[in-house]
A and B are shown apart, each in its own frame.
Chain A
Amino acid sequence: MKRSFLLTLLLVIAVAATAVAGTIEGKVSPGKSVVYVDTIQGKTFPAPSQQPVMDQKGLVFGPHVMVIQQGTTVEFLNSDNVQHNVFWPSISGNKKLGHNLGTWPKGEKRPFKFDNPGVVSLLCNVHPEMAGYIIVSPTPYFAEADAIGNFKIENVPDGKYNVVAWHEGMKQQTKSVDVAGTGKADFTLSK
């Protein structure tokens, strides 16, 4: 009897949560951009336990762009048979948040937990041509647009948010979006 009550309660909560969770859809030009919901006042989110891997292989960062939630720990892997370094001079222009992870050989990983939101420009001081990006979203609500720019951020609670769109080499753009089941935001980024 007690177990049935608990199951019913969980079901009701789940249905209710689904009812208020919406999506933000839209199109961003150019494609392959990152879109995320900016900081929500008064709300914090637990850090995810998953640790994505940023690889260095063939003298290239892979993936070239990675979007993560604030508080995520990223594993930096060197898959090349040459030394690689990873550093970033700033996070979204804040040079105090610059960091050098060091230089290490093939097969080794070095973790780093990103506690500050923003755009992290990854560089390697052994191979100056290498570049990669980690976009640290302050919320778990983010998405990467496809090649033609369509994106969809799911499980966003109803409410009003600032949505940010970012693309390499472009000025990022912020738009206010009302989510009531669904929200829509289109972006056209420029240099």
Chain B
Amino acid sequence: MPGQPFRTGNRVLPFLVLVLVLFATRESRAIPAFSRMYGTSCSTCHIDFPKLNDFGKAFKDAGFKFPKDDESMIKIPPVMLGAPANAELWPHAIWPGVIPGLPPIGLRYNTYFQYTSTNRTNFNQLLPPGTVAPFIPTTDFQTGFFSIFTAGNFGSDIAFWVDDDISVSGANANGGLGEAYLKFVNVGRLMKLPPYLLSLRVGQVELDIPFTQSKSIWISPYDIYSQANIGAVNGAFPLQQFVNNAFTFAGSGKGIELSGGHSTGGYHYSVAFIDQVTTPGLSQANNNNYVPTATGSNQGGVGVASDANFKDIYTNFQYRFNLERDKASRNAIQAAGPTGPRDHTYLNVGSFYLYGRSVQRLSGSTLDGLPAVVTAREPFYRVGGNFTFNYHCCLQFNGLWMYGHDNNLLPVDASGMPVPLPVSGTTTVGLVSGRPATFSGGFADVEWLAYPWMMVLMRYDGVNSTSDYINGLTSGGFTNSPFNGAAYATRNRVTPGVQFLIHANIKASFEYQFRPSQSVVIGSNPRTGYPVAISPFHTNTAVAGLEFVY
């Protein structure tokens, strides 16, 4: 009986390809250098790049190499940095290693086209009378990113990764370093631990969050990952919070990460310790002209990245259950290990937790009236759970929920009365606990690989933040809210999308974002007297992109 080589189905979609040949994703990180090195297609490791299939995950877990028989797979021989026999001479010789035969460099470019609904002009009402509002076009071509990335391994289970956006928006802007790290795979073997029980990653990393943001196939970021926790500061409401925590999961952290297990079956864990960066705007440099740093000069440096001594602690634990109904194939998958079939049914569940201490420093005074710095160290945590149900080759359901909690230390003056927020002056002498600033939310999505070259997507994002809601209800302002004038405490977004692989390394993407409710007109609730949004509207957008890597 003839079989089917691929997933098949309706063949009426070529016209869509023609229509949508203008689109791409934002943050993809496929590595064409590996294609060159191993003489294999991108789709060996990726489904709809940069999304990894199971083999790609195993390749990454192993330190960017084939989990077994890697040497026999390499088509371009590596350059030896010392004969292997030199290992016998150690410590009287440098431990031998290798570098790739070709520089493992990949490049990526993307461009966008955006359509914005007519509600985009509603925000002009916020400007003072007589001000000419900035023009926002209905349709707009937008230059994306030109990025460089390199990754590989040095033999002996030491891997590396660096990616950097060297140009953003065509304006010679530098999007900055994404991830840059060394990974010591299987360091546990030095302690005679079982394989894959312990690996070490050092550098600037994206935390091991359950669904990667930087390598997502979506054009739009996950809203919950971009959620900072800014406390309620709006005099019209009784709730006042002195919380100003800029931490989000969308950014990268600097530190070390211990990890183990497999991403392709059974358990996987990670524990990371990263610099605490919770002050808004403190993303990289904290200049001090007198204190030398590793990247600075004798007169100081630019490399201080923390805003506190405390290191944030992040943990992640995942477990994948193989749900193949047929016992023979289930056993075969388990026996095959990381090189097992990628198109099988499984359920992955997990949880993650981050603990940190947000720091705010105020110019205050002692009870005696002497100048003093009042430091608020507000512990915070993020906790959540996630699941993935993958059905055979082509259908995947993902979900993540997260809860954020920041302790709230309110400044008080010498009489013990709360200092009005935002703080001005130097009357603060101490801090008292107030109601914590919290938020919750998450997302759920469906990813259907209708064809090997077409991915159909649907996602729901929800973020529930009372403080964002309160901060957004400031007449003529909205500067304290990450979302202009949220009409409700919960921001919902529904995003359907479709993506086409024109080639294995060229992708067209399309998303329509039914965006959350917004408002620019503030009224008063006749019952409570609190501000309330009037005439809410949605500024929906359609974004299309075209991306290639080589």
A residues with CB within 8 A of B = 58-59, 80-83, 87-89, 96-103, 105-106, 123, 125-129
CB of A82 within 8 A of CB of B6, answer no
| Chain B residue at minimal CB-CB distance from A105 | B336
CB of A82 within 8 A of CB of B43, answer no
Q: B residues 1-49 with Cβ under 8 Å of A? A: 2-6, 38-41, 43-44
CB of A59 within 8 A of CB of B40, answer yes
Contact residue among B4, B41, B332, B336 (Cβ-Cβ distance under 8 Å from A127): B41
| Chain A residue at minimal CB-CB distance from B4 | A100
Ordered by A's residue number, 23 sampled pairs between the chains whose C-beta atoms are within 8 Å are A58-B75, A59-B40, A59-B73, A80-B73, A82-B68, A83-B55, A83-B336, A83-B339, A83-B340, A87-B5, A88-B5, A96-B2, A97-B2, A98-B3, A99-B2, A99-B3, A101-B3, A105-B336, A126-B342, A127-B41, A127-B44, A128-B41, A128-B44
> Complex formed: what's the CA distance from A80 to B69 in Å?
8
Confirm or deny: B341 has a beta carbon within 8 angstroms of a beta carbon on chain A. yes
CB of A123 within 8 A of CB of B5, answer yes
> Complex formed: what's the CA distance from A148 to B72 in Å?
31
A82-B339, A83-B336, A105-B335 known; 9 new pairs, CB 8 Å cut-off, are A58-B73, A59-B73, A80-B69, A83-B341, A88-B5, A100-B5, A105-B340, A128-B43, A128-B44
CB of A100 within 8 A of CB of B3, answer yes
Confirm or deny: B455 has a beta carbon within 8 angstroms of a beta carbon on chain A. no
CB of A126 within 8 A of CB of B69, answer no
CB of A125 within 8 A of CB of B38, answer no
Report B258-279 CB contacts with A as 1/0, cut-off 8 Å.
0000000000000000000000
CB of A87 within 8 A of CB of B504, answer no
B67 to chain A: which residues have CB within 8 Å?
81
Interface of A, secondary structure class, is loop
| Chain A residue at minimal CB-CB distance from B1 | A99
Count CB-based A-B contacts (< 8 Å): 66
Known A-B contacts A105-B332, A129-B39; A87 and B3 likewise in contact (beta carbons under 8 Å):
yes
- 7 cross-chain pairs, A with B, having the tightest CB-CB distances, nearest first: A100-B3, A81-B68, A87-B5, A81-B69, A128-B41, A129-B41, A105-B336
> Complex formed: what's the CA distance from A89 to B44 in Å?
19
> Complex formed: what's the CA distance from A12 to B244 in Å?
104
A125 to chain B: which residues have CB within 8 Å?
5-6, 452
> Complex formed: what's the CA distance from A125 to B504 in Å?
13
| Chain B residue at minimal CB-CB distance from A96 | B2
**How many whole Å from A29's CB to the nearest CB in chain B?**
28
Known A-B contacts A81-B66, A83-B55, A83-B339; A59 and B39 likewise in contact (beta carbons under 8 Å):
yes
> Complex formed: what's the CA distance from A129 to B41 in Å?
6
**How many whole Å from A191's CB to the nearest CB in chain B?**
22
B75 to chain A: which residues have CB within 8 Å?
58
CB of A98 within 8 A of CB of B38, answer no
A102 to chain B: which residues have CB within 8 Å?
3
Pick from A81, A82, A101, A102 the residue with the most CB of B within 10 Å: A82
> Complex formed: what's the CA distance from A43 to B4 in Å?
33
**How many whole Å from B394's CB to the nearest CB in chain A?**
13
CB of B3 within 8 A of CB of A127, answer no
CB of B336 within 8 A of CB of A59, answer no
Contact residue among A82, A96, A129 (Cβ-Cβ distance under 8 Å from B66): A82
> Complex formed: what's the CA distance from A82 to B75 in Å?
16
Q: B residues 281-309 with Cβ under 8 Å of A? A: none
B41 to chain A: which residues have CB within 8 Å?
127-129
> Complex formed: what's the CA distance from A39 to B2 in Å?
24
**How many whole Å from B540's CB to the nearest CB in chain A?**
37
Contact residue among A98, A105, A129 (Cβ-Cβ distance under 8 Å from B339): A105
